[in-house]
Every structure is written in C-alpha cells, then in structure tokens.
Amino acid sequence: KKRAVPENSHWVKSIGKEKFVGLQVRIGCVSAIAVLLLAVTTIWHHRIWLALIPIAVSIAAYPITRHLFYGKIVCPRCGYNPTRRKSDGKPRQDYYKVLAELRRHQSCPNCGQVGPVPVEKSES
C-alpha cells in the first residue's frame, strides 16, 4: 500500500506535517468516488441535483487543502517553507515536483533543523 508520505520523508514527519502532504490528491479521489456513486443514485432516483453535492464539496475543499499544503509545511525553527518560491514567496505550481522534494528532505533545507524546536524550560 502506497502512502502519500513514504518512509523516507523524515523531515516532514519529524515536524508533524505529514497529514498535509497529498491531502489534495486524497480529497480528489474521494470526491471522484462520491460523484460516481451519486451519479448512479441520480440515474436510479431521477434526481440530477444530487450529483451537484460532491462537486460543490470538492470545489469548496480545494482552497482549504491548498492552504494547508502551501501554508502549513514550514520549519518550526527558521520558518522556511519549501512549498513556496524563494523569489517572491508565492506557492510553487509544480505540485508533484514539490511532493518529490518534500519526500527527499531529511532536515530543513534552509537551517538543517530535524524535528520540532525543543521548548526551553524557564526557571521560576
């Protein structure tokens, strides 16, 4: 069974952001299955409007999943976001290339941090 985040994407897992990688693909697959099931239901019950429900949900879910993928995968130490362009900070358009790069990172490509930043305990 293939996962959206394979075992070698150590950095994304270590910062706890693996749930955002591949979310758009998973939502798209679920939406496609829902459209097919409702298409059958629509034909059976003659209610065309039922097919619009999963289409509307998938259209509404796209900007949310896009924000999670392009906005939440950041280094907790330096704030570097590998899903955005360095030049202007806009989301990169090459989604599958970004996924492949995220899978290769063993640490933050900017500062080398692995895992969450440890919280320093202040003495009171």
Q: Using an 8 Å Cβ cutoff, are 10 and 115 in contact?
A: no
pLDDT at 5: 47
How far are the Cα atoms of 18, 58, 91, 106 from residue 63, in angstroms, in the given order? 18, 9, 12, 28
pLDDT > 70: percent of the chain: 85
The phi, psi pair for 59, rounded to 5°, reads -65, -40
Q: What is the DSSP letter of 110?
A: T
Whether the model clears a pTM of 0.75, i.e. scores above it, the answer is: no
80: helix, coil or strand?
coil
pLDDT at 121: 63
In this prediction, the residues of the chain whose per-residue pLDDT falls under 70 are: 1-8, 50-51, 118-124
